[in-house]
């Protein structure tokens, strides 16, 4: 049982920094830490954190007392950037607005004219404006035109289905390989598909290079490469590769980061929830990864799944949020978004946070050689 929010935050921070490692958890990015009054004033806790990797996000519940303002200035002098959370205009004193480095404007809670008014009222401050809780691409474009420089939300994860949209040949080839792997196809059958797709063959060799460091003999054939990787790991790599851009680069893909983190988190939570059912964790990873494919391909989910002979529990989770994995997918999606996530029976919030940090670290370790 976690006694209070400060203890819970301290436990997660200790896990991320002391056990997992901040570089591993965040990769090249910076993390935002929600700070209430207790956390801001807690002696020594924030001071021990790396200021170049974190932004301290002051919650809207924090009253800007002289003590708080003094503490914020001291944290800035120590090298931290400060963000003001959930700003909706007119409720925070100018002294605090002038102090912070980033102001996060809650665009979801206001109509467009009100957002324009808030932006205009902030024109005299030096802070960078961040539009948070963006739900649609159109909303993101409108905020960009208003002068927002940073954006937060899952607008990029929402599908825009284009009628008559046709999948690229490379996407069709990936789906074909995934279907064969799901059917436990023999290596020669898989090899024939790779032979017909030079781009896929090249990526297969890159995958072998990334997982086969220390091989004592060179790869002699595509069949040999498939055998080295193994069919289940190869299926996972194919799902990740589906999110690469036309040049095969996944490094800058926000969908890849979200899908990989979601899949890995679901896999880890499934291992915790059903330790006696190892196969369920693999299915959980697939549900997480495949849940964003409609957005990636601009194609209805049912149409995509028609090309893949997925297990019944995977299809039920994706299409109807049913079975064991359907509610887990709903909880993980809520954890990512603006809604408060439902408690996951049998798991504490602190444990889920630690698993999320592990999933993020795993995602940052994914590398595809460009080319």
- Asked if the domains 5-153 and 165-371 are classified in one and the same CATH topology, the answer is no
- The chain-wide mean pLDDT, for the chain, equals 80
The answer to whether residue 339 scores a pLDDT higher than 50 is no
Residue, of 8 and 62, whose pLDDT is higher: 62
Residue, of 322 and 240, whose pLDDT is higher: 322
Domain ranges of the chain: 5-153, 165-371
- What pLDDT score does 210 carry? 65
What is the 8-class DSSP label of residue 48?
Answer: G
| % of the chain exceeding 70 in pLDDT | 80
- What pLDDT score does 300 carry? 85
The answer to whether residue 330 scores a pLDDT higher than 80 is yes
- What pLDDT score does 75 carry? 93
| % of the chain exceeding 90 in pLDDT | 22
The answer to whether residue 298 scores a pLDDT higher than 90 is no
The answer to whether residue 311 scores a pLDDT higher than 80 is yes
pTM given for the model: 0.74
- What pLDDT score does 1 carry? 30
The CATH architecture that domain 165-371 belongs to is Orthogonal Bundle (1.10)
In which region does residue 18 sit, left (phi positive, over 0), alpha (psi from -120 to 50) or beta (all else)? alpha
Residue, of 2 and 268, whose pLDDT is higher: 268
The answer to whether residue 104 scores a pLDDT higher than 90 is yes
Flag the least confident range among 114-128, 156-170, 299-313: 156-170
- What pLDDT score does 176 carry? 82
The CATH architecture that domain 5-153 belongs to is Alpha-Beta Barrel (3.20)
- What pLDDT score does 166 carry? 55
Flag the least confident range among 223-227, 280-284, 325-329, 335-339: 335-339
Q: Residue 150 to residues 44, 97, 116, 255: CA-CA distances in angstroms?
A: 30, 17, 16, 17
Q: Binning pLDDT at 50, 70 and 90, where does residue 370 land?
A: very low
Q: How far apart are CA 241 and CA 114, in angstroms?
A: 42
- What pLDDT score does 71 carry? 93
Q: Binning pLDDT at 50, 70 and 90, where does residue 265 land?
A: very high
């Amino acid at each position: 049982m976690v006694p209070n929010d400060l203890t819970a935050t301290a436990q997660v921070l200790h896990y991320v920094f002391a056990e997992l490692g901040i570089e591993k958890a965040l990769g090249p990015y910076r993390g935002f830490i929600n700070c209430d009054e207790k956390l801001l004033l807690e002696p020594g806790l924030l001071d021990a954190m790396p200021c170049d990797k974190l932004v301290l996000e002051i919650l809207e519940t924090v009253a800007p007392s002289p003590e708080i303002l003094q503490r914020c200035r001291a944290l800035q002098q120590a090298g931290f950037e400060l963000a003001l959370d959930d700003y909706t205009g007119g409720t925070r004193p100018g002294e605090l607005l002038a102090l912070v480095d980033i102001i996060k404007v809650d665009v979801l809670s206001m109509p467009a004219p009100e957002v324009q008014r808030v932006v205009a009222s902030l024109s005299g401050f030096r802070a960078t404006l961040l539009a948070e809780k963006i739900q649609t691409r159109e909303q993101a474009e409108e905020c960009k035109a208003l002068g927002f420089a940073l954006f937060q939300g899952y607008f990029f994860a929402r599908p825009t289905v284009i009628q008559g949209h046709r999948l690229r040949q490379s996407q069709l080839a990936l789906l074909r390989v995934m279907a064969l792997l799901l059917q436990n196809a023999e290596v020669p059958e898989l090899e024939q598909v790779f032979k017909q797709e030079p781009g896929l063959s090249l990526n297969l060799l890159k995958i072998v290079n990334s997982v086969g460091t220390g091989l004592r003999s060179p790869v002699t054939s595509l069949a040999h490469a498939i055998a080295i990787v193994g069919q289940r790991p190869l299926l996972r790599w194919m799902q990740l590769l589906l999110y690469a851009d036309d040049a095969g680069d996944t490094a800058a893909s926000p969908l890849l980061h979200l899908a990989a983190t979601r899949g890995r988190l679901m896999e880890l939570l499934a291992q915790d929830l059903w330790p006696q059912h190892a196969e369920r964790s693999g299915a959980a990873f697939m549900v997480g990864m495949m849940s964003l494919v409609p957005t990636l391909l601009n194609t209805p989910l049912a149409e995509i799944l028609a090309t893949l002979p997925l297990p019944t529990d995977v299809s039920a989770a994706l299409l109807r949020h049913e079975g064991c994995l359907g509610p887990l997918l709903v909880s993980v999606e809520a954890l990512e978004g603006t809604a408060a996530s439902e408690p996951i029976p049998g798991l504490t919030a602190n444990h889920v946070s630690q698993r999320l940090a592990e999933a993020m670290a795993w995602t940052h370790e994914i590398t595809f050689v460009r080319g």
